[in-house]
Amino acid sequence: MTFPKSWLPWTLVAIIGALGGAWFARTTLAPPPPPVLAAGTWLHEARELSAPALVDSLGQPFPPSAFKGHASLVFFGFTHCPDICPTTLALLAQVKPAIAAGNIVVYLATVDPERDTPEALHSYLAGFDPDFIGLTGTPPDIEAFTRALGALAAKVDLPGGSYSMEHSATLYLLDDAGRLRAVFSPPYDRTKLAADIEAAVAAARG
């Protein structure tokens, strides 16, 4: 079966258009490559955060939606922590200005809500960076929040009736939709951590 020669140009146009459409779809719809992190774990599938409403260090309600609109770095600790917390928070105060991506908020989520009131968190964090935000709440809400991010914390009784809190120094990166995208574990190197966070924030934004 033969076709009129006048059809050939239109056939070529259709073929070229189809090939061009396939190339465009591959280049624009394909997910960006994951970031290469020196000391972090990138989650290929963003994890939606199912968390309770908390209270921030200014005493204001903090619903899960408050994580949206900016990248967030969440660290679990407490104001009576003797070493891990002050060391990590001091490091983050140095790392944050080095992140060129900017618009990232650092949160200290307490694992000791019995002692860490909003006022205590506010005063404590001011010694590291006045822009750091503390998060507290009822013990059940704090426990639910730690579970939501996969954090670990345990109360340890001390002689004399006092207690301390055992917890990890893991950092959790949320994207600007409030979803968990990356996890960072110690030991931390300031330069590598800043580069990792910046790469992860950029990848999360696509």
pLDDT tens by residue, 105-135 = 999 999 999 999 999 999 999 999 999 999 9
What integer pLDDT is reported at residue 15 of this predicted model? 43
Give the 3-state secondary structure of 57-79.
Answer: CCCCEECHHHHCCCEEEEEEECC
Give every CB contact of residue 159 below 8 A, 6+ residues apart in sequence.
none
Q: Say which residue, 28 or 149, is predicted with more confidence.
A: 149
Would you place residue 84 in the very low, low, confident or very high pLDDT band (cuts 50, 70, 90)? very high
Lowest mean pLDDT among 25-34, 72-81, 126-135: 25-34
Would you place residue 206 in the very low, low, confident or very high pLDDT band (cuts 50, 70, 90)? low
**What letters, b where the CB count within 10 A reaches 16 and e where it falls short, cover 95-107?**
bbeebeeeebbbb
Provide mean pLDDT across the span 8-27.
Answer: 44
Q: What is the mean pLDDT of the chain?
A: 87
Provide mean pLDDT across the span 43-57.
Answer: 93
> Two tokens at 129?
């960076």
Would you place residue 100 in the very low, low, confident or very high pLDDT band (cuts 50, 70, 90)? confident
What integer pLDDT is reported at residue 144 of this predicted model? 96
Provide mean pLDDT across the span 165-172.
Answer: 95
Q: In whole angstroms, give the CA distance from residue 70 to residue 15.
A: 44
What integer pLDDT is reported at residue 18 of this predicted model? 45
> pTM above the 0.95 mark?
no
Q: Which residue type sits at 182? A: A
What integer pLDDT is reported at residue 98 of this predicted model? 86
Q: Say which residue, 19 or 177, is predicted with more confidence.
A: 177
Q: Say which residue, 101 or 152, is predicted with more confidence.
A: 152
Q: In whole angstroms, give the CA distance from residue 187 to residue 203.
A: 23
Lowest mean pLDDT among 4-8, 53-57, 153-157, 185-189: 4-8
What integer pLDDT is reported at residue 102 of this predicted model? 65
Q: Is the pLDDT of residue 75 over 90?
A: yes
Provide mean pLDDT across the span 146-165.
Answer: 93
CA-based nearest residue to 168, from 154, 152, 182: 152
